[in-house]
Structure 1
């Protein structure tokens, strides 16, 4: 009997605890719901404070003054969409119209500038083409391109390159050094001084020929140092020293030869050449 009484009493206690826990959970859920509603109201008030028509219009005007036209346009469109009947929306439409006109004018100016740049580039390329001479090896299918003003019977430094199917492909920019005189120098190497920079080209191999009382010795090699070529082209004074077995000969590179080298670099890059 005592056991039955204890069991009933324990069941009542547990039931009471269960009811209390449920009531607590319900109260907590109600409090959470209330707080969520208050938070939503606060967020709405904060959004109205930050993004009300007055604030949006002021922000758009500030963005427009800073030339942030895209941002100003987005802000104005947001204002008009959210507050279509407000007086600020009317002002926004006027400001938006002005911004659209300014952006349209800016785009037109950029397009005209791009058109002018392309026309100048096309003109420059046409002028460059007139300065080139091309000789095609029909057996190998290679077209060798050099400068039309490259000297023949003279001492000079020049550039040229080969193309196949209208592209440089694997053909590097090449440099030719030519010594022309009436007596042999037996050139073994070359030293180039471009302003304050000196380059020793002792690895070059020279060939020789003669005719009609004149001799010429020349090297023909791939350009291994594009920076050296750029330095030569951009220097005020360039001296090429042909070092012979006993003597040497200095060539002060004329501006015409440097200009021809610059043209050849531009042509090489046009055909796809990369350093």
Structure 2
């Protein structure tokens, strides 16, 4: 099956947007957004394959890299940056890279995504190797920066995955574990920061959360390894201890003040109880 005109570039199902009332604009955008979870549901079998290979590699000491440009790159960096505080892991477990470097998180860097050789140079700065997994993210599935990175990764025996929003795109063809999120044309033609971006964010949520759970970073349904970096998270930790250990709030606060980690406290109590 050849790669034809990408769905993400097809004309919107709506026209004369500037003539719509505010309620019409919001309602129509919402109607389009309803397609996103359905696209994710169809992709679950492929997401599962990618999660399982990633867990396998990370158990052997590997890391997960996200690679993208523009909105896709920002979403990857965002998801990677949220894993350490949420799951208490090192910042080098999941690493997000964006074309143009960190400056591109705030403003577009001209032509950064058009260089097919730069991604591998960026990855080499982190010592990417055969234990690692690389996930390319590109709504169009055609971004040279991402495609070039995946090609070089495969040449060096690095497992690759790809998230795109077009069928049979070059990214799909290049990735070992392709994930296609077919959400259809955007409300504003070609504006992939909308449905395509939302679908990518949801997929990354699913991937990183499932990986962290399978690597033991959640207990029951609690983020017991979270970094207690502010009052809200400290209060959450206190409530976890109160619920799990059936203790008073003051005791929970004293324990957390001493040990600084919910899991450590739970492990101590379970050891004492011989569980």
Query: Which has the bigger relative contact order, CA under 8 A and spacing at least 6?
Result: 2
Higher strand fraction (1 or 2):
1
Normalised to the residue count of structure 1, the TM-score between the two structures is 0.26
Normalised to the residue count of structure 2, the TM-score between the two structures is 0.26
Greater Rg, structure 1 or structure 2?
Answer: 1
